[in-house]
Amino acid sequence: MNKVDEEEVRLGIYLKRNNFKMVEIEKSSSGQFRINSLIQVNLDTSLDLNSIQNDSQVTEIGDQISEIFNVFKAEPKQAIFTLENPFALVKIIPVDSNLSKDELIDQVNWEVKQFSYSPDDEYIVDFQQLDSSNGKTTEEIIIVSVRQKIIQQLKKLFSAAKISVRVIELELFAAIRAVENNYDLKAGELVCLIEIDFQGIQFTILKDKKFYFSQDIPLSKLGIEGDSFKSIDDNEMAKIIYRELKRIIQDHQLGDSVEGFSRIFLYGDNVRDGALEKFQNSFNVRIDKTNPFRNVFIGPNVNVDEKISSHPETFTVCVGSALR
């Protein structure tokens, strides 16, 4: 985005099912971030893998977002729109470090076909090479692919919402950015980000300040009855987090125990303070809720309600998208 005078305006939009969040951030020439507005509203219709296939529901969601902008007198220009992870496929693969650019693209396209939903689907694919040590004959690349049909439907949503979208990205990368911009992560550290949602948990591992692994675990695979965490108490939630984290550590050979992590960050809309405290008291690791406003100045005219101020971790992804 081009700078306007000495400041740059960034608009982050995050829609997780029916929960709509938006943050507007200005970056000054000195590098200081300032939040100009925060919005959080529940929509009447959820955006999910079923509704995005329905033209009328997509338009309805867009119309509701447009009305929110009208109510709050917001001007949604050049936004970064953040999608839930299930809308895309993310995979890290090893490749020959001597491949040419064209050969690398051919390799990526072949890999996408191997783990795509259907051979008839068309995908929009992006990839990035991860830093590797000198002298290695192989390196790793991270591939992100989204079905073209989903992008087409999102464009209909943006049109109805009257949003000019500059970038579409995934929530896991926005969350990583929010942590990186607010906390001093050090080379060589193993860091875990845990999103606790009302319908599941997502684990993201950073190894040596780089994305290493991510996994979404829905309620159905956590052994929880019903459609939410309401049926379990804080102690049980802490035990579930530990159980799943221990499994990931073992499956991916990340050490002997949770103490192998330098830091663990919890974020999302369902981080319970009681479960966090029990988790903190169980291990000799620094475990915190994320605060995406830690290194960001909130403007004097911004109304921050009590729910956001007491649970800043709920805005981790949204702030991270605006920091792109």
The CATH architecture to which 87-147 belongs is 2-Layer Sandwich (3.30)
Task: Tell me which residue has tokens 């620094």.
Answer: 286
Region of 202 on the Ramachandran plot (φ > 0 left; ψ -120 to 50 alpha; else beta): beta
Q: Which of the two residues, 127 and 116, has the higher pLDDT score?
A: 127
Q: What does the alpha-carbon distance between residue 300 and residue 309 come to, in Å, rounded to a whole number?
A: 14
Top CATH class of 7-85+149-175+294-322 equals alpha beta
Among 128-142, 218-232, 271-285, which stretch is predicted with the lowest mean pLDDT? 128-142
d(CA 154, CA 139): 33
186-289 and 87-147 share a CATH fold: no
Q: What is the pLDDT of residue 30?
A: 83
Measured torsion, CA atoms of residues 28, 177, 314, 7, in degrees rounded to the nearest 10:
10
Domain ranges in the chain are: 7-85+149-175+294-322, 87-147, 186-289
Mean pLDDT confidence for 288-311 = 93
What is the share, in percent, of the chain residues with pLDDT greater than 70? 94
Which is more confidently placed, 135 or 304? 304
Task: Indicate whether 6 pLDDT > 70.
Answer: no
- Sign of the alpha-carbon torsion through 321, 322, 323, 324: positive
Tell me what pLDDT residue 4 has: 45
User: Do β-strands 79-83 and 7-28 pair in parallel, antiparallel, or remain unpaired?
Assistant: parallel
Per-residue pLDDT, averaged over 3-10, amounts to 62
Quick one: pLDDT at residue 180?
96
CATH code for the domain defined by 186-289: 3.30.420.40
